[in-house]
Amino acid sequence: MIIEHMGYYADKLQQKNYKSFYLSFLRVAISIWLLKEVVINWSAMDILYGSSTFVTLKSNLISRIPGGGLTLVRTYYLWVIEFYIIVILLNILGIGRWFTALLLFLMVDFLEKMNTSFVNGGDKMVRLILLYMIFANSYQYFVLYKNRKEVSEKGKLKNLISNLAAVSIMLQLCVAYFGSGIAKINDTFWLNGEATYYALSMERFVGTSLNKYIVQQKWIDYLTNYGTIIFELFFPILIWIKKMRKPLLITGAIFHMCIYIFMMIYGFEIVFILIYGLFLPNKMLVDFSQKIKSFFWKEEFFKA
């Protein structure tokens, strides 16, 4: 029975790359996100990775580089960053394919280990997305040059691996939500409906001057508190039901945008929203991109 089921899915997953469009989009989007992080962190790069950092590195592979390796890396950190930018650009253009994807994952992992204090949930998620992207075929769109189509056994296997990678990214999001939901129902503050009051009161996360008025409204505190728990616990289950998909994705996008605005947690929210596209059907996304393309490329547009 189990073997039969596995056989069915093994066949199905080998037929085609079901997420070819969004995987390509995600490769470009995550690379641009990484580039954006470099740009906005540029003025503080020396504090993060350079020799003038005040951070004492925790014991890890980087801190244990023999022969004063860490000092050397910190002295020439700009070379590392420049190489990192080149790898990101290569990944955007799809040059080097899987090798570049692997290199980018290793670079992100290296930079996160260079300053573990600065790593947040969004960075952890990006690192895992990049890990799964090594196995994904994200090179059917948005590339400088295209490979010829493979229909051999090898091509089928590539489809299987790519589809498993796409499912892995979706599962990673579900696990993050569900794990967070479970942690919340094990916490007294969340169970009593008080947690968002404390989270929005925390001065580090007071994103707007409205926060202090919002938290004083108990009904908002209860609504956001229990709403968050329900969303995090049920998203991973209901998202696989076709009818529930769109309302859940719209709710999720609103949820993350609220955290973005009211709690000043920026990069993290964008990364989570970016994954949402994988839950949409490939055909719908391709048709949508064609519409955008034809809008910008139609003759009237240029004549006007």
Residues that bind another protein (CB under 8 A): 3, 6-7, 9-10, 13-14, 40-41, 43-44, 47-48, 54-59, 115, 117-118, 120-121, 124, 128, 131, 153, 157, 160-161, 164, 167-168, 171-172, 175-180, 182-184, 186-190, 192, 194-199, 201-204, 206-208, 215-216, 218, 221, 264, 266
Torsions phi, psi for 296 (to 5 deg) = -80, -25
Half-sphere exposure of 36 (CA within 13 A, CB side): 12
CB of 248 to another protein, least distance (A): 18
CB of 227 to another protein, least distance (A): 14
Report d(CA 26, CA 106) in Å as an integer: 18
CB of 43 to another protein, least distance (A): 6
**Cβ neighbours for 254, distance < 8 A, ≥ 6 positions apart:** none
Contact 273, 251 (CB under 8 A): no
Complex with another protein: residue 188 or 242, whichever CB lies closer:
188
Complex with another protein: residue 144 or 237, whichever CB lies closer:
237
Complex with another protein: residue 62 or 90, whichever CB lies closer:
62
Within 10 Å of residue 4's Cβ, how many Cβ atoms?
Answer: 8
CB of 146 to another protein, least distance (A): 25
Name the nearest CA neighbour of 269 among 196, 130, 176: 176
Complex with another protein: residue 57 or 85, whichever CB lies closer:
57
Name the nearest CA neighbour of 251 among 275, 227, 274: 227
**Cβ neighbours for 82, distance < 8 A, ≥ 6 positions apart:** none
Complex with another protein: residue 69 or 179, whichever CB lies closer:
179
CB of 69 to another protein, least distance (A): 18
Complex with another protein: residue 91 or 162, whichever CB lies closer:
162
Max Cα-Cα span within the chain: 65
DSSP secondary structure string, 31-67? HHHHHHHHHHHGGGHHHHHSTT--PPPPSSTTTT-TT
| Token couple for 65 | 């580089």
Complex with another protein: residue 41 or 289, whichever CB lies closer:
41
CB of 271 to another protein, least distance (A): 13
Contact 169, 132 (CB under 8 A): yes
77 CA to centre of own chain: 25
CB of 284 to another protein, least distance (A): 26
